[in-house]
């Protein structure tokens, strides 16, 4: 286990370096830059700003300086938000997006697993058809459509939840549901497919032949193995959901990281974009590591080596 973790951490460092290098090159290759404005700056002022942000240095020197700062944990100051550091922006927005994302993913896992198991056990029944039709609709509908329907139902028609804001439990439930609904639909379909495959295995028939109760066979024997495709999906899905959702955060006025991702891209803010890309990469790699460890726990046939 220790050697496995050490190898993966070394690969994580290498992956972050590759992502940093590729992102640095791509951002500089795009026409324009962080000093581009709709109204052109005076050449003298632009030159002073380039010196201020050290954009007049040779490209290789900029790369080395920013790489060393990133290694030290200093992600620099955003060009359009000079009063804050990138670290401060992430520290303020990430806990909000992560809280919303974790609640949404918890809801998605609970609803998706329940629907998938029920659909697989009752294969071909009206319940199976209804659940899979609902899952298909959940996958097809965009987040903003689901959010609009939920706001109409539970804010205006039946005023149960507030329309927007952040800070209370009531303000968390509705956006978490809207954010987690598509993930719940994917999990339901993956769970159903995995359960149907596992339920046809010989050891499941042996368990029934031994007289084990149906619920015990399904929960203790079948569900554990059928979770492997779901766990594979949850790795990158969790990394994406906890780093912010532009649509949901905009609709419900949630101060997370979603807007910063778009802002960094549209305004070509090198430092903010690099910080967010490295954050997402680190989270994605960490979640994939957790997935690999979960495989060994769910299926004894899987070896970490």
- Model pTM? 0.80
20: Cα separation from own chain's centroid: 19
Q: Tokens 């319940």 correspond to what residue?
A: 127
- Domain ranges for the chain, please list them: 1-305
- pLDDT given for residue 37 in this prediction: 63
pLDDT tens per residue, range 220-271: 777 777 777 888 888 888 887 887 677 888 888 888 888 888 888 778 888 8
**Helix 86-121 vs helix 223-241: angle between axes, to the nearest 10 degrees?**
150
pLDDT in tens, 134-148: 888 888 888 888 888
- pLDDT tens-digit map of 185-208: 889 888 888 888 887 777 777 877
Over residues 109-128, mean pLDDT = 86
Q: Which residue has the higher pLDDT, 112 or 54?
A: 112
Of 292 and 88, which is predicted with more confidence? 88
Q: With cut-offs at 50, 70 and 90, classify the pLDDT of residue 20.
A: very high
Tokens 């009752």 correspond to 122
End-to-end CA distance of the chain: 9
Tokens 């139902």 sit on residue: 153
Mean of all residue pLDDT scores within the chain: 82
Q: Does the pLDDT value for residue 156 go beyond 80?
A: yes
Nearest Cα to Cα of residue 233 among 280, 197, 297, 190: 190
Superfamily name with CATH number, domain 1-305: MetI-like (1.10.3720.10)
**CA–CA distance, 145 with 237 (Å, rounded to integer):** 20
Q: How far apart are CA 241 and CA 235, in angstroms?
A: 10
């Amino acid at each position: 286990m220790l050697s496995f973790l050490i190898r993966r951490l070394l690969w994580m460092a290498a992956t972050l370096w590759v992502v940093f290098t590729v992102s640095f090159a791509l951002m500089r290759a795009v026409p324009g830059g962080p000093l581009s404005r709709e109204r052109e700056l005076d050449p003298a002022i632009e030159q002073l700003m380039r010196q201020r942000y050290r954009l007049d240095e040779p490209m290789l020197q900029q790369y080395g300086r920013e790489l060393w700062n990133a290694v030290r944990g200093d992600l620099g100051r955003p060009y359009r938000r000079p009063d804050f550091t990138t670290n401060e922006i992430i520290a303020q927005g990430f806990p909000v997006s992560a809280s919303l994302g974790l609640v949404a993913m918890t809801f998605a896992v609970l609803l998706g697993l329940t629907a998938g198991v029920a659909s697989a056990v009752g294969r071909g029944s009206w319940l199976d058809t209804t659940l899979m039709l609902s899952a298909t609709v959940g996958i097809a509908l965009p987040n903003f459509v689901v959010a609009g329907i939920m706001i109409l139902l539970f804010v205006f028609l039946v005023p149960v939840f507030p329309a927007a804001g952040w800070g209370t439990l009531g303000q968390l439930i509705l956006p978490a549901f809207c954010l987690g609904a598509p993930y719940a639909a994917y999990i339901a379909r993956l769970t159903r497919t995995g359960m149907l495959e596992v339920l046809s295995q010989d050891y499941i028939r042996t368990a029934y032949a031994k007289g084990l109760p149906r619920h015990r066979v399904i929960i203790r024997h079948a569900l554990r193995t059928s979770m492997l495709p779901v766990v594979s999906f949850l790795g990158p899905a969790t990394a994406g959901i906890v780093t912010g959702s532009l649509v949901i955060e905009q609709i419900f006025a949630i101060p997370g990281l979603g807007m910063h991702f778009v802002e960094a891209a549209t305004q070509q803010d090198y430092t903010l974009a690099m910080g967010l890309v490295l954050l997402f990469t680190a989270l994605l790699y960490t979640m994939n590591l957790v997935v690999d460890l979960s495989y060994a726990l769910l299926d004894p046939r899987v070896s970490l080596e």
